[in-house]
Amino acid sequence: DPLKIPLGEFELKLVPKGVTQNTGNDADSLWADSTAWILTNITTGESVTSDTSLAYKNEQIILASTTGKDVLDWGMAVTINQVAAPGVDPVRNLSNGFINWSVTFQDPSNEWLSAVSDNDAGNANQYGAYDWIRSGINGKLQGFNDPSFHDYASNGGALDPDSKYESIWDGRIAPNRLVSNTSEAVSPGRPQTLVQPMTFGYQAMQGIGLDKLSSVDIVLTPDESKWSECVMLEMGEDPGLNQDQVEKFAMRTGTLTYKGTNLKPGKTIFPGYAINVNTGERLNIIVGEDSYQRSENGRDMKWNPTDRNGVFNGSYASFGGRHFIYVMGSHKGIAASIHPKLPIYDRGEEYYNLLTSMTPGNRMSTLTKIFQNCDWVIPAIMAPGKSLIENEDGIPTPPNEVKIRLRVGMPYGTTPETSDINEGRPTYKFSTEDIYNDINNENGKKALEMANIVPNPYYAFSGYEGSAIDNRVKFTNLPVNCEISIYTLDGALVRRIKKDDTSTELDWNLKNNANVPIASGLYIIHIDAGELGEKVLKWMGVMRELDLDSF
């Protein structure tokens, strides 16, 4: 209730409610049956405790009528419940933790960015490079022998059986765990070059699910102050054709000059940034390019995809020069030594150090450490006919800002890094300074401008009516005290209603002062709010005929 919101600082904390031990696949999260919440007005010290645990989705209204205490009449409601992490029991968790996505261009007339759309391969002879999201129940779950179009599973069950993560931006974005990571093609007639890994191989993903996914905002922008420094990976399939014979997923060997300074070999500038919206942390980004594809900007150490989404040389998939985007999280996998937690945004320095020290002997372990921290993959290409324009430093620049929102539901859990605050349990603070009900004459005068009558016009029916013989409209956004006068166009008074209560609404049964139904026509309504001023409305009503057959 906006009229009840007080001015103050508030804190919402999740607290134990009985036993706090949790076990099973979601062991890091708070056990729903033994977790409750407390909402505190820090300004006054007053608190409200939840009626139920997080196991129940219960809306708890904090009003005088529900708390029995006028001092807690805050005009707020709290609805909070525990959820399963993505990939945890996807059979019962029908959404599999996925909430929604959006891609918004600042200039809708110039939607310049696109990406490779997933296209499920139906048989072994089809072109499988476009089957890059392995979401669903095809493949080994059905006994198929060709691993190049298995959908991914863990512990005998599909990671995403209902393909919830295959629909993001029409199959243009996917969690790293569900991205094609094998180039194997054992079926006759299906060349190996037709099945290419979009992320590093199967070994990096063993034992890893979807539960570490982060909700992110990925923004590509012409604002250079927000750009990210990052490492660039080689995406070419054949080391013999790549620059300096570098293997796929190793760091590129070229050098980029930015603002008059040479970056470290293998590093580049990405025209954007990524934010973990759950934590507020800026995330590292890794990008790629295919140095074999010189004609598709694949050997210039710049993030500048083309719009070429076909093949060349018969079977080699272009993917716009393979300028893929990898959004890197910051989390630990099943074992810290194999899957360490890598930093949030540090200009890609830790990834640079790992890749610089990579040798043939530690290649597998190094790439495993890196890619288990990858959350999202976008095989970016330009929209047909679009291209980036280089700025004065020669860096390709987006023509307008595009914001990609990816949201997944994460369970409430504990974070050891914040154990000094509420023992690491979630704690949220907010202020009502910009929404509280500041009661004064000046604001009252402004609010009176919003006074209205609905519906207008009235055509013999409104949603406020409860029966066939009920005629009713509603005055809205009214002050506490006012007098409403309703007139015909020739100035005859039809009805006068006085209001003196804290509600903001008032019903009119479409009858005059003698309790007789009014006639159809136009009416003038005058709202007199005393020192707050007055408001005049015009209203038209068409009355329905009395239906005596209904009685």
pLDDT in tens for each of the 551 residues of the chain? 777 788 999 999 999 986 544 444 444 568 888 899 999 999 999 999 998 899 888 888 887 666 666 667 888 899 998 888 898 887 778 899 999 999 999 999 999 999 999 988 655 445 668 889 999 887 655 555 566 667 888 777 788 999 999 999 999 999 999 998 877 655 555 555 567 789 997 666 767 889 889 999 999 999 999 999 999 999 998 899 999 999 999 999 999 999 999 999 999 999 999 999 988 999 999 999 999 999 999 999 999 999 999 887 777 889 999 999 999 999 887 777 778 889 999 999 999 999 999 999 999 999 999 999 999 999 999 999 999 999 988 999 999 999 999 999 988 988 877 889 998 899 999 999 998 877 777 777 888 888 999 999 999 888 888 787 788 999 988 888 899 999 999 999 999 999 988 778 899 999 999 999 999 999 999 999 988 889 999 999 998 876 656 55
d(CA 401, CA 173): 18
d(CA 489, CA 525): 10
d(CA 234, CA 242): 8
Contacts of 408 (CB under 8 A, 6+ apart): 86, 97, 98, 99, 213, 214, 215
Which helix (H) or strand (E) segment holds residue 286: the answer is strand 285-289
Q: How many CB atoms lie within 10 A of CB 58?
A: 14
The answer to whether residues 178 and 135 touch, using CB atoms and an 8 Å cutoff, is yes
Contacts of 457 (CB under 8 A, 6+ apart): 539, 540, 541, 542
How far from the centroid of its chain's Cα atoms is residue 236's Cα? Answer: 32
Task: Collapse the DSSP code of 158 into the 3-class scheme (helix H, G, I; strand E, B; otherwise coil) and give the result.
Answer: strand
d(CA 47, CA 44): 9
Structural tokens at position 365:
């372990």
Residue 229 DSSP code: E
Residue 413 DSSP code: B
Q: Hey, which bits of 121-172 come out as E strands? A: 153-154, 157-158
